Structure 1
Amino acid sequence: MPVGLIALALGGFGIGLTEFVIAGLLPDVAADFGVSEASAGWFISGYALAVVVGALGLTAAVTRLERKPVLAGLLVLFIAGNLLSATAADYWPMMLGRVIAALAHGAFFGIGAVVAAGMVPPSKKAGAIALMFTGLTAANVLGVPFGTLLGQAAGWRATFWAITVIGVAALAGILALVPRQAGAAEAGGSLRSELGAFRSGQVWLSIVVTVLGFGGMFGAFTYIAYTLTEVSGFAASTVPWLLIVFGVGLFAGNTLGGKAADRNLDRTLLVVLAVLAVVLVAFALVAANPVLTVISLVLMGGFGFATVPGLQMRVMKYAPGAPTLASGANIGAFNVGNALGAWLGGVTITAGFGYTSPIWAGAVITVAGVAVMAFAAAAAKRSETRVDAPAEAPDEAAAEAAGVVRV
C-alpha cells in the first residue's frame, strides 16, 4: 500500500469531520443562534452547495498545476474556514466559515481520487479510491461521535477548534507523505481537454446517479438526531454512540463496495442502490422501534457508502483522458445530493410530516437513482456491443469468401 494513500485519508478525515459532525450538533447550534431546524439545516445544505462551486471552479483553475502543492493549499483554505466557524458570533459568520471550508472539499477529494488511482495498478483503482475515502468513513466512525460528545460537553465551538487542529495535522501529513511525483499532472493536460470529458453521455449519467444515490442516504442522515430522539425515543446523550454504529456501517460499506466495484462496477452499483432504497423504506417503517432503528442505521450507512468508490470510479472510467475535472465534478455531485436530501428533508418536516419524513424522501430519491443507473448500465452495454461488432465483421466476410459456413 503506497504510504501516500494514508496521507490522503488523513486529509479526508479532517474534511469529512467538518461535513458530517454538524448533523450531531445541529440542535445545539440551532438553539445557540436561535433559529429553526430548517434554518440550521442550511449549515449542511450551504456547505454542500459550496462544495459544488469548489469542486468545479477550483478544480478547473488548478487543472494544470502540480497536484501535491494544490492539495496542501486546499487544506490551508479548509483550516481558515473552520477557524472562522469556531469563532463565529452569529448565524451568518458561521455560514461563511462553512462555505470557505467547503470550497476546499470538492477539489481535495476530486484531485485526491485521481492521485490515489494513479498510485496503484488498474485492477486496484477503485480499492485505492476506497482507501482514500476511508478517512471520510473514519471521520464518521470516530470523529463525528466524539466530536458530538465534545460539543455537548464543552460547547459546539470546541468541536470546530478541534477540527482546526486536525486540519493542521492533515496539512503536515500531505507535505510529508505524498511524493511530489504523485502530484504531477499529466503532460499536455489542459482545461480544454478536461472539459472535453463532459461530451460523454455516460459521464453525465454517472453524475446524475451520484446526485440521486447519495442524496437519498443523506436526506435521511441530515435530520437523524431529531429522528433518534423524537421518534425512536433515545436520549440526546446517546446520539453520539448511535452515530458510531452508523459509522461502522459506513466503514464496512466503503471497503466492501470498493472491492465489489473492482470486480463488476455497474452491477455493484445497481444492487447496492436497490438494497439501499429497501433499507430506507424499512427504516421509515420501524423508526419507532429502538432495536430495529439501530439495525437500520448500520444498514443505511453500509449500503449508502458502498456506492461511493464505485460512483467515483465510474465517472473517471468514462473520462480516461481527462479525469481531474470529471472527478471533481462528481465530488460536487455528491454534495448536490447532500443539499437536495437536506433541503427536501427540511421541506417535509416544515410541512408537518414528522421526523421520519426525511427518510421517506430519501427512499424516493434513491429509487430515482436506481432507475437512472439501470438506464446508464444498459446504454453502456449497448455501446460496448456496437464497438465489438465491427471487429467480427471482417472475419465473417473472409469466411464467406472462402466458402466456409459458420453454425
Structure 2
Amino acid sequence: MPFALFLLALAVFVMGTSEFMLAGLLPALAADLDVTIGVAGLLTSAFAIGMVVGAPLMAAFARRLPPRAVLLSCLLVFAACHVIGAVTDDFPVLLATRVLSALANAGFLAVALATAATLVPSDRKGRAVAILLAGTTLATIAGVPGGALLGAAAGWRVTFWAIALLCIPAALGIMRGIPNRSVHPSPAPRLRVELGQLVTPRLLLAMTLGALINAGTFAAFTFLAPIVIGGPRLGEAWVPLVLVLFGVGSFVGVSIAGRLSDRHPGTVLAVGGALLFLGWIALALLASEPAALLALVFLQGVLAFGVGSTLITRVLYAAANAPTMGGSYATAALNLGAVAGPVLGILALETGAGDVGPVWTAAVLTALALGLAALRRRDLLGG
C-alpha cells in the first residue's frame, strides 16, 4: 500500500477525534460559555449536518483542482477553526467554527476517498478504504478517550489546541506524500454527468445500504452508556472501557474487510450482515449480563464496521464513472447514517422501549438493509 494512504489516515484520525470527542466535553463547555447542555449539544448536530451537506458541495467545488491543494486547504481551515474555537468566549462563534470545520472535514474525506481509490490498482479499492476508515476507528480507541482525559485534566479548550497541533504533522505528510497534480482521468467528466450517476440503480443501492448499516451502528453506539450503567449496572467507570472495546472491534472489522471486500464482497455482506443482525438482537436480549455485553460490544464493532466499510467500497466501485464526485457520495452515505441513527435511537428511547431501544432500532435497520440487498444482489455486486 502506498505510504500516502497512511498519511491521509492520520488526518482522518485527527478529524475523527474532533468529531467524536465533543460528547465528553459538553458539560464543561456549557458551563464555561454559560449555555445549557441542550444548547451545547447543537455543536454536535451542526457538525453532523455540515458533514452531510459539505461532502458533495466541497467535492463539486474542488473537482478540477489538484488533490494535494484541496486536502491541505481543508486541513488548514480545520486547524484554524479549532484555534478560534479554543480562544472564543462566544457560543455563536464556536458554533460557526463547528459548521465550517465540518465542511472542511467533509471536503477532506470526500477528496481523500476519491484520491485513495486512484493510488491503488482498480481491484484494491477496499484496502484503500479500510486504511482511511482505520483512522476513524483509531480515533474512537485512542483519540476520543485521550481528548476526554485531556479535557478533564486541563480544560476543554486545551483539547481544541491539541487538535490544531495534530493537524501540523498531517499537513506536512500530505505535502510530501500526495502528488501536486490531478489523479483523475483528464479531462474529467462534466459535473452534470457525474451527478447523473446518482440515479443509477447500483450506486443508489450501495449508498442506501451504507446509510442504513451506519444508521444502525450509530443508533446503538451513541446510547451504549445508558445500557452499560442501567443494564448490568457496571457503573459509569466502565463506559470508557466499553466504548474503547467497540472501537477496537471496529478497527479489527475494517482491517478484515480491507482484505476481503474487493474479491469477496458478496460473502462479507451476506455472512457479516446476517451475523450483525443476530448480534444486535443478542445484545438487546443479553445487555443485562456483563460478560455477554462486553463480548457482544466487541463483536458488533467488528461486524458493523466490516460490513459498513465493504458497502462504502461498493459505493466507490459503483461511482467509477464519477471519479471526482465518488468520494463525496461515499462520505454522504456514511454521514446520513451518522445523523439519522442517533435521531432514531432517541425516538426508540422515547417510545418506552427502554435503554436497549436503540439496539432494537439497529436490528431493524440492519434487517431492512439485508432484505434490500437480497432483493437487489445483482445490482449491488454486478459490473
Which TM-score applies when normalising by structure 2? 0.90
C-alpha distance in 1 between matches for 2:23 and 2:259: 29
Q: Which amino acid aligns with 1:218?
A: F
CA contact (8 A) 2:110 2:327 kept: yes
C-alpha distance in 2 between matches for 1:184 and 1:379: 28
Q: Residues 193, 23 of structure 1: CA spacing in aligned structure 2 closer, same or farther, 3 A cutoff?
A: same
Match of 2:130? 130
Report how far residue 31 of structure 1 moved. Answer: 6.8
Q: The residue matched to 2:18 in structure 1 has which SS?
A: helix
Match of 1:361? 361
Q: Residues 56, 150 of structure 1: CA spacing in aligned structure 2 closer, same or farther, 3 A cutoff?
A: same
Match of 1:75? 75
Per-residue CA deviations over 1:21-75 (Å, capped at 9, x if unaligned) read 23444565567666456x6655434322211111111111111111110011111
CA contact (8 A) 1:59 1:107 kept: yes
Match of 2:198? 198
C-alpha distance in 1 between matches for 2:206 and 2:314: 7
Q: Residues 80, 271 of structure 1: CA spacing in aligned structure 2 closer, same or farther, 3 A cutoff?
A: farther
Report how far residue 107 of structure 1 moved. Answer: 2.3
Match of 1:165? 165
C-alpha distance in 1 between matches for 2:263 and 2:179: 29
CA contact (8 A) 2:27 2:37 kept: no
Match of 1:12? 12
Quick check: 225-234 or 128-137, which moved more? 225-234
Root-mean-square deviation (Å): 2.5
Match of 1:275? 275
**Percent identity between the aligned chains?**
34
Report how far residue 294 of structure 1 moved. Answer: 1.4
Q: Residues 307, 25 of structure 1: CA spacing in aligned structure 2 closer, same or farther, 3 A cutoff?
A: farther
The 5 Å alignment of 1:2-401 reads 2-25=2-25, 35=36, 42-87=42-87, 89=89, 92-181=92-181, 183-189=182-188, 190-380=190-380
Q: Which amino acid aligns with 2:185?
A: E
C-alpha distance in 2 between matches for 1:29 and 1:374: 46
Q: Which amino acid aligns with 1:224?
A: L
Per-residue CA deviations over 1:110-149 (Å, capped at 9, x if unaligned) read 2212211211222322112211222112212211222222
Q: Residues 233, 31 of structure 1: CA spacing in aligned structure 2 closer, same or farther, 3 A cutoff?
A: farther
Q: The residue matched to 2:233 in structure 1 has which SS?
A: coil
CA contact (8 A) 1:146 1:240 kept: no
CA contact (8 A) 2:55 2:103 kept: yes
CA contact (8 A) 2:250 2:306 kept: yes
Per-residue CA deviations over 1:131-173 (Å, capped at 9, x if unaligned) read 1222112212211222222223333333232222212332222
Q: Which amino acid aligns with 1:163?
A: I
Q: Which amino acid aligns with 2:50?
A: A
Residues matched between the structures, number: 381
Report how far residue 326 of structure 1 moved. Answer: 2.7
Q: Which amino acid aligns with 2:106?
A: G
C-alpha distance in 2 between matches for 1:162 and 1:352: 40
Q: Which amino acid aligns with 1:260?
A: L
- Gaps of at least 5 residues in structure 2 are none
* Higher gyration radius (CA): 1
C-alpha distance in 2 between matches for 1:93 and 1:105: 18
Per-residue CA deviations over 1:75-132 (Å, capped at 9, x if unaligned) read 1222233334434546544433322221122222222122112112223221122112
C-alpha distance in 2 between matches for 1:103 and 1:270: 34
Q: Residues 158, 126 of structure 1: CA spacing in aligned structure 2 closer, same or farther, 3 A cutoff?
A: same
Q: Residues 258, 100 of structure 1: CA spacing in aligned structure 2 closer, same or farther, 3 A cutoff?
A: same
Which TM-score applies when normalising by structure 1? 0.85
Q: Which amino acid aligns with 1:188?
A: P
CA contact (8 A) 1:46 1:339 kept: no
Q: Which amino acid aligns with 2:261?
A: A
Q: The residue matched to 1:219 in structure 2 has which SS?
A: helix
Report how far residue 230 of structure 1 moved. Answer: 3.6
CA contact (8 A) 2:118 2:183 kept: no
C-alpha distance in 2 between matches for 1:153 and 1:200: 51
